[in-house]
Structures are given as C-alpha cells and as structure tokens.
Amino acid sequence: MVDVAAKPETARVAVASAEVRMSGATLRLVTRATGARGKGDVLAVARVAGIMSARKTAELIPLCHPIRLTGCDVELTADRKLPGVRVRATARAIDRTGVEMEALVAASTAALTVYDMVKSAERGVEIRSVRLEEKAGGASGHWIRRRR
C-alpha cells in the first residue's frame, strides 16, 4: 500500500457511471413500484446497495486505502432509448487520497443489484461502460472524461 501520510488532506470528489441494458419489457418491470417478480423497488434497492458498497471499498479492493467518505450519492435513471438503467455515483471525502475507487464500486454494485433483481425476468441483461467520468482534488487536479 502506498504511504500517503505526507500528503495534505484536501477535498476530493469522483463521479463514476455504468449502464444496465435490458429489454423494454424488463425496463417496464423496473419502473413499476413492485419491480421484477415482486422483489420491490429495483432502483431504490440498487441505490442503497451502491451507497453501502462505497463504504466497503477498502475491504473489497486489495491495497486500497480506507477513505473517510463525507458523502455518496447514487442516481439511477430509467432510459427507454438505451433501453435500460443509467447509474451515476458521486463520492466525496476530505482525505489524503482520491475517491475514484469508491465511486466506481458504488456504480458497479448498483448496476449488479439491478441485474440481480431482474435476472428472473431476463437472463440477457448486460452491464456496460463502468467508468470514471470526473475527479477533482489532490495534486493531479480536476479531470473530466471527454465526450465522444
């Protein structure tokens, strides 16, 4: 594990995203309050799972520093054009190292939770494009993914 003791604590933020592609019929199940096969509100459960997982990142990723998160938001949006669900996770901390991994773990876990909750309705669901969108803070400064 890299020693970060000499680094100053600074405000850090990272945003990650993911896509969960599925059929239009499965997406309609997701947007219903009862969700797929009566499992409940898919988007609400996935949101909580993403937030909870961000807090466990250092336990999941070898050599990842434990971060004192000051906030984590996970937004899930049904997108009929995809069709599927778009996930956006934002992690914030005041610490000596970045929160990119926390944001990526939150986005990934939220996407996996959507998959888990709809797999009984559709086995061919795909999780795609898990990626860092933006990060700020620390010596490397502000970075934003260029749009294609």
pLDDT digits (tens, 9 = 90+) for 55-93: 999 999 999 999 999 999 999 999 999 999 999 999 999
Cβ atoms of 127 and 121 closer than 8 Å: no
pLDDT at 35 over 60: no
116 as an active site residue: the answer is yes
Query: What pLDDT, on the 0 to 100 scale, is given for residue 139?
Result: 84
Catalytic residue (choose from 41, 73, 79, 116):
116
Q: Is the pLDDT of residue 117 over 70?
A: yes
% of residues, the chain, pLDDT over 90: 81
- Judged on CB neighbours under 10 Å (0-12, 13-18, 19+), 135 is buried
Mean pLDDT on 35-46: 80
Compute the average pLDDT of residues 100-123. Answer: 96
Domains and CATH numbers, the chain: 22-144 (3.30.70.640)
Mean pLDDT of 22-34: 87
